[in-house]
Amino acid sequence: MMKLFYLHGFNSGSKPRAERIRLLQNKEFEVVCLDYDSSAIFPLLVEYFDRMLLEYKGNDIGFVGTSLGGFWANFLGDRYGCGWVSINPSLVPSASLKKYLGKALTNYVSGEKWVLGEDVPDSYSIAFQLNVDGLVILDKGDEVIDSVVTIEKLDGTGVEVISYEGGGHQFDHWKEAVEEISFHFNSRLIGVGGEFNG
């Protein structure tokens, strides 16, 4: 059975009982929520993910993420040589995170209050990887990340893009998208097995 790691968005946390997880789990995948700290700098998060995922090296794994988690799904899929799906992703975290600098934030899941430091967006030295095989799924009504800009940036790169009318940044089309996600992993990526590139 393929193991899918789900990565939440910025300033959030895992909700294993959320509908999106249940819908993914109902397919032939085992879904594992992979929590990470949005306030951590990029290099520390890379080290963290490497530690968390070491035991899965060489196994059938894939990544699904939303928003900043969509960036990480893309990055980790490229790093470990396996499949990924990014939903309403942040393509350039160094830019998209800057609008939160200095603002008082409250984590959507834990309720923890915190302030984003300048070192976090500045630490994201790379952007979305465009030379890897994956799937991007968008809600055109995303009020946080402009879907038109995302589509334009991905046009001609070889990255497959599926978009739904309406919706929002929280993504309203999980029931439809889960079929696309299942098809994507089953038809193209199952059996690839991750190998660490770094």
Predicted local confidence at residue 27, as pLDDT: 63
Tell me the per-residue pLDDT of 15-42, one tens digit each, with 9 for 90 and over: 877 888 888 886 678 999 999 999 999 9
- Higher-confidence residue of 95 and 58: namely 95
Predicted local confidence at residue 186, as pLDDT: 83
- Measured CA to CA, the distance from residue 157 to residue 178 in angstroms comes to 23
pLDDT band at 111 (very low <50, low <70, confident <90, very high): very high
- Higher-confidence residue of 14 and 108: namely 108
Tell me the per-residue pLDDT of 138-187, one tens digit each, with 9 for 90 and over: 999 999 999 999 999 999 898 999 999 999 898 999 999 999 999 888 87
Is residue 189 pLDDT above 80, yes or no? no
Predicted local confidence at residue 168, as pLDDT: 87
Mean pLDDT (whole number) for 59-88: 93
